[in-house]
A and B are shown apart, each in its own frame.
Chain A
Amino acid sequence: MRKLHLLPPDVFDELAATGGGPETVELLKRTRHSQTLLAIRQFVDHRPDLLELLTVLAAAQAAAPTRVAAVLTYPWVSVWISRALRDGWTVRDRQHLAAVVTAASLRAQIVEPVPPLLLADGGQIVLPTLGVLTVSGQVPRRLTTTDLRDSGWLRLRTVTNGQCHPRSEIIVDDLDPHRDCHGFSVTGRVDDRTWTIWRDTLRNAGCLLATYAPDRHDEVAVGLSSAVPLQAAAAGADISATHRDAFGGFAASLPRSPAELAATMIHEFQHSKLHAIATLVNLHHGDDQRTYFAPWRPDPRPLVGALHGAYAFTAVAGFWHAMRADPTLEHQATLRFATMRAEVNRVLPDLLAAPGLTQSGQRFVASLATAAGRLCRHDVPRKVERHAARRLHQLERQWRQRWGPSA
């Protein structure tokens, strides 16, 4: 009997209530690992010429399974392999698979010839999780760590969270071509000044989370593995995004402050969690065409979009409530908390009645609504509460004027 990924009901309920904890996050990460391995297995049936290459990968896995899993579950590797599965295999995919196998072999510290290692445009070999090697002259038959010290080597930069969580690492990826998958413009290689901002803000965001929201901190410390810098949008706007297949990866414009980045990390990781849950449990029927009002967006949202928003913002509302304990952020945090709390509690009753939910989907939304309802136990100043209610009312009125009462 083959082992399946099954979510126990109590774990499902915890996830639905926006939590889960680090062990559950590991479980979700394993589902992504399975999906990638199954995709690899699927390619072999159609492309037996890949077997030689994949045998090298298997040797690396046998030598260092955890290190190889870190490459195979790297968000931009997941995006690439899912795209290849969906759209079909191309010559470039053969090229990238060789690079993935090379990266896995280097991480496993085994030196195997990778047959044949091809070059991407510009004479480059993109090694996921490691960096980019620009090759002048003959293409190497194999790479060793010595090659990663040459002048043609550009390494990816990693942020470790120092004292707050020594084992937590996030790769700030400004090199991997498959990171460009969010519909927003990515930056190129960021300069030293920008990198310093990313590094310091990620570290400080991690410390804020460890101090004020330790449960969230423990989840993102285990789950988030890569951040992709995005180009700035309109003045003053923050952009962030998560791709369905990129578990543990997110993209964002340059963070304005540790607190804003911490909120973004929670928000985006909730999307990752919900995408992963949806690979294990069908939460909705695919044929539901209804749309819903979501105060955080100007457009009518399909059920899945509204659910993702409610899931992310319920968690972020809880974060801002926790941040009210920080004397320097109390006012901002209270305002954000009251606003988001009002928004999610407006949306969730509509979702509870959504006919497109499966039985498990109804259970999921019920747990989420209970979690959002619990946020209402916390007092906020009456003035702030009134402001949040007025703002919500105004947004809904504008939305209904534009889209009509039944959108």
Chain B
Amino acid sequence: MELERPSAELPDHTALPDVSDAPLIELLQDRDPELLAALARLTEIAKDSAPVTFGWNSAIVR
């Protein structure tokens, strides 16, 4: 099942800010508009999406 794929760079990124190495003390005081916009987006996404769990019960099918 070898399939042709689009060769372009990856689109559809969510542009999640990478703060994984940021000192928390600096992050708490960060008022950068880009960061604030990302925070608002993150909250919006969280509120719009129900928690999802994928469960597996071997008795259902097998």
Q: Could you list which residues of chain A lie within 8 angstroms of chain B, going by C-beta atoms? A: 2-9, 12, 30-31, 33-35, 37-42, 44-45, 51, 54-55, 57-59, 61-62, 69, 79, 82-83, 85-86, 181-184, 233-234, 236-245, 264, 267, 271, 275, 279-283, 295-298, 304-305, 308-309, 312, 345, 348-349, 352, 358-363, 366-367, 369-370, 372-373, 395
Excluding A85-B46, A245-B51, 15 further A-B contacts by CB distance (< 8 Å) are A4-B16, A4-B18, A5-B18, A37-B19, A37-B24, A61-B24, A62-B24, A86-B46, A236-B59, A238-B57, A244-B51, A271-B54, A296-B61, A361-B12, A366-B4
**Smallest CB separation, B6 vs chain A (Å):** 6
A31 touches B3 (CB 8 A): no
Q: Is there contact, CB below 8 Å, between A31 and B24?
A: no
B residues lining the A interface (CB < 8 Å):
1-6, 8-20, 22-25, 27-28, 30, 32, 34-35, 38-39, 42-43, 46-47, 49, 51-61
Chain B positions within 8 Å of A267 at CB level: 56
The one of A241, A349, A367 in contact with B53, judged by C-beta atoms closer than 8 angstroms, is A241
Docked-complex contact A62 and B51, CB < 8 angstroms: no
Q: Considering the chains assembled together, what is the distance between the CA atoms of A349 and B12 in angstroms?
A: 22
Given A55-B25, A61-B23, A244-B51 in contact, is the A38-B6 Cβ separation under 8 Å? no
Chain A interface mostly: helix
Query: Which residues of B lie under 8 Å from residue A55 when comparing CB positions?
Result: 25, 28
With both chains docked as a complex, state the minimum distance between the C-beta of A179 and any C-beta of chain B, in angstroms. Answer: 12
* Minimum distance in angstroms from A283 CB to a CB of chain B: 7
- Interface core residue of B6, B46, B59 (most chain A CB under 10 Å): B46
B55 touches A42 (CB 8 A): no
Give A348's nearest chain B residue, CB to CB: B1
- How far is B5's CA from A360's CA once the two chains are assembled, in angstroms? 10
Residues of chain B with a CB closer than 8 A to A236's CB: 58-59
**What's the minimum C-beta distance from A169 to chain B, rounded to whole angstroms?**
21
CB atoms of B43 and A42 under 8 A apart: yes
Check A370/B3 contact, CB under 8 A, given A39-B42, A83-B51. yes
Residue of A nearest to B16 (CB): A5
CB pair A62–B56 under 8 Å, yes or no, is no
17 A-B residue pairings within 8 Å (CB atoms): A3-B17, A6-B13, A40-B28, A41-B19, A42-B39, A55-B25, A58-B25, A59-B25, A61-B24, A181-B53, A182-B53, A182-B55, A237-B59, A241-B55, A282-B14, A363-B5, A366-B4
